[in-house]
């Protein structure tokens, strides 16, 4: 049986979608396939996102920034947008059965001291972790 495929989208595919991808893969990766992409990819994964995820034992250092159109020819069962811009720009994928929008602040736009920026990344990571761990738990119960 094929594993359901989930695509997590944000605008730049540099922070939120990668954190969500890493968290969801860690929470439910044995029975789903998880990808992330952006409507206007930044071309890199934010170093602070990588560092913040490493703090909770999830390595996203090998992730790459991808465009959502790269997934149009693939079977995608569920699309989850994590920012408003991606939600508005997101196309319907031919095989898509579910679509969810869970918006999170973009920590890449926070300015201030290094400590304030790090705090913003941690806050968003923790919010993403709460939502996506609950989602993974729901998927497990539905199996």
Catalytic residue, candidates 8, 90, 124, 131 = 90
Catalytic residue, candidates 45, 58, 83, 128 = 83
φ and ψ of 115, to 5 deg: -65, -40
φ and ψ of 107, to 5 deg: -70, -15
10 counts as catalytic = yes
Q: Contact 37/9 with Cβ under 8 angstroms?
A: yes
Q: How many CB atoms lie within 10 A of CB 38?
A: 25
Catalytic residue, candidates 7, 10, 82, 128 = 10
User: Which tokens belong to 81?
Assistant: 């947008």
Q: How many CB atoms lie within 10 A of CB 94?
A: 10
Calpha distance 94→73 (Å, rounded): 8
- The DSSP H or E segment spanning 80 is strand 78-81
Q: Contact 39/66 with Cβ under 8 angstroms?
A: no
90 counts as catalytic = yes
Catalytic residues: 10, 83, 90
């Amino acid at each position: 049986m094929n594993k359901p495929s989930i695509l997590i989208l944000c605008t730049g595919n540099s922070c939120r979608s990668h954190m969500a991808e890493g968290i969801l893969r860690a929470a439910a990766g044995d029975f789903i396939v998880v990808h992330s992409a952006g409507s206007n990819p930044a071309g890199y994964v934010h170093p602070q996102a990588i560092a913040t995820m490493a703090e909770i034992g999830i390595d996203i250092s090998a992730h790459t920034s991808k465009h959502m159109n790269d997934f149009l020819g693939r079977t995608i069962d569920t699309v989850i947008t994590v920012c408003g811009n991606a939600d508005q720009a997101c196309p319907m994928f031919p095989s898509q059965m579910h679509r969810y929008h869970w918006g999170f602040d973009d920590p890449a736009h926070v300015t201030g001291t290094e400590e304030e920026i790090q705090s913003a990344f941690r806050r968003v990571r923790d919010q993403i972790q709460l939502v996506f761990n609950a989602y993974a738990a729901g998927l497990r119960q539905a199996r």
